Structure 1
Amino acid sequence: MTTTLTPVLTRGWDEADSFTLAGYQRGGGYRALRKALAIPPDDLVQMGKDSGLRGRGGAGFPAGMKWAFIPQGDGKPHYLVVNADESEPGTCKDVPLMMANPHVLIEGIVISSYAIRANHAFIYVRGEVLHVVRRLQEAVREAYEAGFLGTNILGSGFDMELTVHTGAGAYICGEETALLDSLEGYRGQPRLKPPFPAVAGLYACPTVVNNVETIASVPGIIERGADWFADMGTEKSKGHGIFSLSGHVTRPGQYEAPLGITLRELLEMAGGVRAGHRLKFWTPGGSSTPILTDEHLDVPLDYESVGAAGSMLGTRALQIFDETTCVVRAVLRWSEFYAHESCGKCTPCREGTFWLKQIVARLEKGEGTEEDIERIVEISKNMFGRSFCALGDSLISPIGSSVKYFRDEYIQHFEHGGCPFDPAASTVWAGQE
């Protein structure tokens, strides 16, 4: 595979008017839509399957297969819902994509809606990112005026309405069924599955829920062909994706490359870890994925290889931490986040996140014991797979992996009465062990 960058979604981000309709069309925008409207919907679904496009929101489920689950001829309205509620700590790809090029998302929405025979789509975006909401609303207005949304789009007879809906900032609404409840006006909490959204989703009708980057990838596949997309990446993880590098890296930002590229290669493009420091640990897909270390620099960043290394590719949010970072403190911050964001619907997550936060906080202060380390591991095992949704599992991933790779650092905290990375709280730094 190639390790060069593949600027498809990020192409033109540096142009002053990349977010406008004129700027998008100058680069060939909406050509794919004209092509798609001349293709039978079932053939578009097959193109999605043939391309190998997998969900870019973290789970990696094949997008074309998800579209194919929608029952046809059922007499019910169908819906497409775009999950733009990007709220995973460390994940920062959908927001810049919507800011720099909202029209590629809109074009992908119209094509995908046509493929699943939906006449109404929603973009569920976080209300806190008001600048993104305004940009999306303006792009939707431009698309309506140009005839890319509304009735009889481009003379095809296909009608399409698009609504931008702002959420209230609940992390749980990143889970697709909680998002649907919120969209319907209810408190955002996950639903029992089955039935799955493809059968009974929004308003109990067949619904496809896809991530922003997933839908934004559709125009390129239609324009250049499924084989073009499938030729990138690896055998089972095909195509290109946006890798978000943040933290202790010289040039943080978005790097669009084929799946299967390694962190070592991405760091070379990003100028490496900040000067004078070395890599200690990193997340391959945001804070909900098990952490990896410098031993995993050459692991191909695809779903299968990262899984074999003991983690998950997730949203490709690569948080880079150097040797000055206390892993226990990092885990504590994540623990506080997940405990705060638990919706409280199920006992394993509601109680588990609360107690994990308390115990990790005690360990971080240097007041814990070795039994506390065993206790957080045991609680994590009891939570795994028993929560109503994946939020409970999201916290145990960094906890379990941090104990696996940095157990000695946990022990140092209570052996020396404080964090060894905080000179004010420990004598370790002063050489007074």
Structure 2
Amino acid sequence: MPEIKMHLLVCCGTGCISSQSDRIVESLKTALKNRNLQDEVKVVLSGCFGFCEKGPIVKVAPDNTFYVQVRPEDAQEIVDEHVLKGRKVQRLLYVDPETEEHIADSKHMGFYKKQMRIALRNCGFIDPENINEYIAQGGYQALGKALSEMTPKDVVEEMKKSGLRGRGGGGFPTGLKWDFAAKQQAGTKYVICNADEGDPGAFMDRSILEGDPHSVVEAMAICGYAIGAQKGMVYIRAEYPLAVKRLRKAIDDARETGLLGEDILGTGFSFDIELRYGAGAFVCGEETALIRSLEGERGEPTSKPPFPAEKGFWDKPSNVNNVETFANVPVILTKGADWFASIGTEKSKGTKVFALAGKVNNVGLVEVPMGTTLREVIFDIGGGIRDGKKFKAVQTGGPSGGCLTSKHLDTPIDFDNLVAAGSMMGSGGMIVLDEDNCMVSVAKFYLEFTVDESCGKCAPCRVGNKRLHEILEKITQGHGTEEDLALLRSLAQTIKDTSLCGLGQTAPNPVLSTLDNFWDEYEAHVREKRCPSGKCKALLSFVIDPEKCKGCTLCTRVCPVGAITGKVREPHLIAQETCIKCGACASACKFDAIAKK
């Protein structure tokens, strides 16, 4: 085989593919062929690099040059300048916003400096569709070690010693969960991977499956050995076509290589995996609802106990972990539980992957050690708030979490600290809000989501959350009363205390946390009939300043409902009863004469 002297790694996760990174791959291959370099330089389709804000990304190895916002038409220049002449393409390098310096190596970028990639270790470094590249990075060594050097009990004890907690939201100790399943006496047991990632703004599990599917396959086999299961299932939402495609290929390749199926590595242990597709129900992220869906039933949670470790899929002992949890397992076995436990905080070991989104400069996928503060994630890694706006809040844990404020920015991130602050870790969504966000509307948005996603099995969730949403709608429409504010808190707490599953129990969190941290905004909506952020249309009005208005009639011409009247060169008026608050007039005015109040 010809010697490969250089690799061009192209991010081909869903985000970058939506920005034509698949065309960049083809353009680079064509450009290399034009220069007869196709045998010396290899173009590698890789997973997510994490820096989604600057995608599509092309990384050159071995010199580690990091090109951002690459377009297909840039391919020839990369080949001619960098590959042939050894000169970096300056215009494609990342520019530090503070120093305005061009940075070629990602290690020196603020976005990556404080990150530590364990679950994401292979994303952006290997071709996820090539099992040999995973093996070359140490893949399946953990499975080999478990099968040849450890007893099932040894594996369970190593997981318990590591301190790994479930990354799906509840934070239950992984080793303890495996131990419960291992102790059950049954001829048939199941390993289930929860890949039903449904939080708004969350894309952690999807990115792992797209960028490193073999890490999950290997971990599930290890879990099967540890608990005595021979069958594994991945419950993945059908809305993740790329993740499905790459995971299916990983399973097929592992089976063909002898790493899945009968008598793995000649040890007598047999284990296989199949995919099951979900229809996108958020409640199926709850493990008992997920299991019912796997059985072909309506996805509704069941009362616990019994827990799935005792009676799960088809009433057989079943272990359920999510994608990120499994992605940590092979590393724990190869590097040791002590190494993993040395990272993080006393009660939350290792790292956590977050999908950082919203009003932040560096939107993307980040992985940081537990104990990193919210300030470090938002301002050091995330680059601060867009357009110089003021930070207002951060929503952690998706619809199940709460909104934290500037007083929480120095809170070390771990499971217990976030709960104590009125939010939760959840699966890892982190949405940043700025001064323009109305917190009452934010709470209403999340309630709208959970009302829509409730399975309807229990009345507190089915009826209570609907009533909560109606009260919030009433408040944002300007019809709220003092009694509504009192009822909002009382009802939210009742739903939290009486709902059957985690969806209902955590659905009121956005309401309770915004009531605690942004009470003044609720008061303004109810008492003053005013939205401080100017986002609630019913409480909004556009007013023309007669001193500034020149009578140019431009606002009259753009108003879609004819709400503005006035003569040429004379101040105009807006009929508030006709105005639909679209803001077209304010956008069109060249004299800053129209104010939003």
Match of 1:222 in 2: 333
Residue pair 2:440, 2:522 contacting (<8 A) in 1 also: yes
Deviation, 1:240, is 1.5
Q: What is aligned with 2:144?
A: 34
Tell me what 2:376 maps to.
Answer: 265
- The reply to whether residue 114 of structure 1 matches residue 196 of structure 2 is no
Distance 1:73 1:5, change over 3 A: closer
Partner residue of 2:127 out of 2, 17, 20:
17
1:194 to 1:73, Cα distance in 2 relative to 1, 3 A? closer
The residue matched to 2:232 in structure 1 has which SS?
strand
Compared CA separation, residues 73 and 357, structure 1 to 2 (3 A): closer
Pick one of 473, 486, 505 that aligns with 1:361. Answer: 473
Describe the shift of the 1:412–1:25 C-alpha distance in structure 2 as closer, same or farther (beyond 3 A): same
Q: Deviations over 1:21-80 (max 9, x none)?
A: 122122111111111111100000000000000001111110000011125472431111
The SS at the match of 1:198 is: coil
Within the alignment, does 1:279 sit opposite 2:356 as a pair? no
Corresponding position of 2:484: 372
For residues 73 and 5 of structure 1, what CA distance do their matches in structure 2 show? Answer: 39
Tell me which of 141, 148, 166 is aligned to 2:277: 166
**Ranges in structure 2 where 5+ consecutive residues have no aligned partner:** 1-112, 544-594
SS in 2 for 1:374: helix
TM-score by length of 1: 0.95
1:422 maps to what in 2? 535
Unaligned segments of structure 1, at least 5 residues: none
**Identity of aligned pairs, percent?**
42
Candidates 412, 418, 423, aligned match of 1:311? 423
Letter in 2 for 1:224: K
Local SS of the residue matching 2:168: coil
What pairs up with 1:292-331 in 2 under 5 angstroms?
292-331=404-443
Task: Pick 1 or 2: higher relative contact order, CA cutoff 8 A, min separation 6.
Answer: 1
Check conservation: 2:390, 2:434, Cα contact below 8 A: yes
User: 1:394 is matched with which residue?
Assistant: 506
1:141-162 superposed Cα distances (whole Å, 9 cap, x missing partner)? 1111111110011111110110
Matched residues, number: 431
Q: Which amino acid aligns with 2:411?
A: V
Deviations 1:81-109 (A, max 9, x none): 11111112232211111111111111111
Matches within 5 A, 1:90-101: 90-101=201-212
The residue type paired with residue 31 of structure 1 is: Q
CA contact (8 A) 1:380 1:396 kept: yes
Deviates more, 1:271-280 or 1:406-415: 406-415
Q: Give the equivalent residue in structure 2 for 1:6.
A: 116
Q: Is the 8 A contact 2:396 2:424 kept in 1?
A: yes
1:335 to 443, 447, 451: 447
Does the CA-based 8 Å contact 2:128-2:210 persist in structure 1? no
Kept after mapping to 2: 8 A contact 1:90/1:246: yes
Aligned partners of 1:255 and 1:432: how far apart in 2? Answer: 37
Q: Deviations over 1:6-28 (max 9, x none)?
A: 12222232246144312212211
Cα distance, 1:307 vs. partner?
A: 2.6
1:383 paired with 2:461, answer no
Q: TM-score, normalised by structure 2?
A: 0.70
Q: 1:134 aligns with which of 232, 238, 245?
A: 245
Instruction: Deviation per CA, 1:146-198: give whole Å up to 9, x if none.
Output: 11110011111110110111011111111100100100111111112111111
Q: Which has the larger radius of gyration?
A: 2
- 1:386, 1:61 → 2: CA distance? 21
Q: Aligned partner of 1:345: which letter?
A: K
